[in-house]
Amino acid sequence: MNIDEFEGIMKKYGQEAVLDKVREMNEKDRSRILKQCDFLDFSFLKALSAKENVRGKIEPIRTMKLSEISEKKEYFEKLGTEAIKSGKVAALVLAGGMGTRLGSDHAKGMYDIGMTKPVYIFQRMFENLLDVVNKTGAWVPLFIMTSLFNDREIKEFLVEHRCFGYDPRYVKFFVQDMSPCVGIDGNILFCKPDEFAMSPNGNGGFYSSMMSAGLDKYCKENGVEYINVFAVDNVLQRIADPVFVGATIDSGCATGAKVVRKADPGEKVGSICLEDGAPSVVEYYEMTDELLQAKDKDGEPAYEYGVILNYLFRLKEMDGIVRTEMPVHVVKKKVPFLQKSDASSTGYVTVNPEEPNAYKLETLTLDFVRLMGSCLPFEVVREYEFAPIKNAMGIDSVQSARKMLLNIGYEL
């Protein structure tokens, strides 16, 4: 990017103070930072001046419950298996996250949760996907979304482990875009004298980054009609599950969302609902007391199903969703930044904050549920399908996931 373009962008988003700093830099530093700007999405800065996201009218949505699924299981499974065999289904793992809560120095998928032998999070993913390959006799293309921070190590790790037995011809990587991190004062932070602090642009960035990498073309050329998007960190994840695929196709909906009955009303998962009559997801922190206590017509909690970040999206409808439609969420997190210091010979020190000190700008996959227009909420059993690893200990942790794996007889 040249300095004139940069100036235009900084002025557009009220970043004059940052512009002044860049102008004052020596030529070498300035040219480095302008180079970094080529792969930063500054349009996300619009979220800082946007009005607070006001939710529409929230109402309960009908969920396909376990009993109904069990009655039609054979039919759904046949339909889903046919779709997988004819190459209509691909899988996409969101592996671009920073995993800050887990606190590992490496990508989350490389984390070893074994107790007596190595068992990596990525290994669990491939094992789960191989179940479907072995059952249907068809390879499911797997797209792996990485970030600039972990792309190289993920690729090297999977080469070293030979994709845990998965045919590498069906594994495709793409890197998600980055967005700048912003301090509490609204100005973009620096992490080095010649570099802005940046972070991956949220898991909702998968479709635009997939397009930039040409994978939408791959899908069209290879007859892929659905993608199963899922989080890397759920070690019980069922991927390209034929019953789920069949049920979503049968429903005619553009999206299928796997949901679990919430462990308690305040569980930190988004609740599936209708918003102004269309399927949507309300985040746990947006749930009011009224919503938490609401009952449906059968007297059951109205919003008792939570999404587990496992969606089936029909590509036909995704094509129509342009990137600019995606809401950008402003999330307060810990971001290391550069501060002036008389004590340092360079005049600067890097501060590693103990508490959240900055805003990351992210799009979220769950917003596709609303944008896609129709959705089948599909209930799954938590004990078999939902063991997310967010923390080292406690709720949604390595500890809780190990316990769940041991409970289903998996050796760790």
198: three-class secondary structure by DSSP: strand
| 232 touching ligand UTP, by CB under 6 A | yes
Compute the Cα dihedral for 81, 86, 87, 89 and give only its sign.
negative
From the list 36, 43, 63, 100, which residue makes contact with ligand UTP (rule: CB under 6 A)?
A: 100
From the list 44, 45, 84, 99, which residue makes contact with ligand UTP (rule: CB under 6 A)?
A: 99
From the list 1, 34, 69, 98, which residue makes contact with ligand UTP (rule: CB under 6 A)?
A: 98
b/e map 314-323, b = 16+ CB within 10 Å: bbebbeebeb
**Restricting to residues 233-272, which ones interact with ligand UTP according to CB under 6 A?**
233
* Cβ neighbours of 391 (radius 10 Å): 15
Binding-residue pattern over the window 201 to 220 for ligand UTP, x denoting contact by CB under 6 A: xxx-----------------
In whole angstroms, the minimum distance from the beta carbon of 110 to ligand UTP comes to 12
In whole angstroms, the minimum distance from the beta carbon of 43 to ligand UTP comes to 16
Whether residue 303 contacts residue 289, with contact meaning beta carbons closer than 8 Å, is answered with: no
Which residue, 46 or 332, has its beta carbon nearer to ligand UTP? Answer: 332
In whole angstroms, the minimum distance from the beta carbon of 4 to ligand UTP comes to 30
If 0-12 CB within 10 Å is exposed, 13-18 middle and 19+ buried, where does residue 393 land? Answer: exposed
d(CA 145, CA 96): 6
Which residue, 334 or 382, has its beta carbon nearer to ligand UTP? Answer: 334
In whole angstroms, the minimum distance from the beta carbon of 161 to ligand UTP comes to 18
Which residue, 14 or 356, has its beta carbon nearer to ligand UTP? Answer: 356
| Residue of this chain nearest to ligand UTP (CB atom) | 97
**Restricting to residues 149-178, which ones interact with ligand UTP according to CB under 6 A?**
176
| 108 touching ligand UTP, by CB under 6 A | yes
376: three-class secondary structure by DSSP: strand
In whole angstroms, the minimum distance from the beta carbon of 349 to ligand UTP comes to 24
DSSP assignment of 66-104, as one string? HHHHHHTHHHHHHHHHHHHHTT-EEEEEE-----TTTT-
| Residue among 149, 146, 148 at smallest CA distance from 158 | 146
| DSSP symbol at 321 | -
Q: Enumerate binding residues for ligand UTP (CB under 6 A).
A: 94-101, 108, 145, 176, 200-203, 231-233, 362, 390
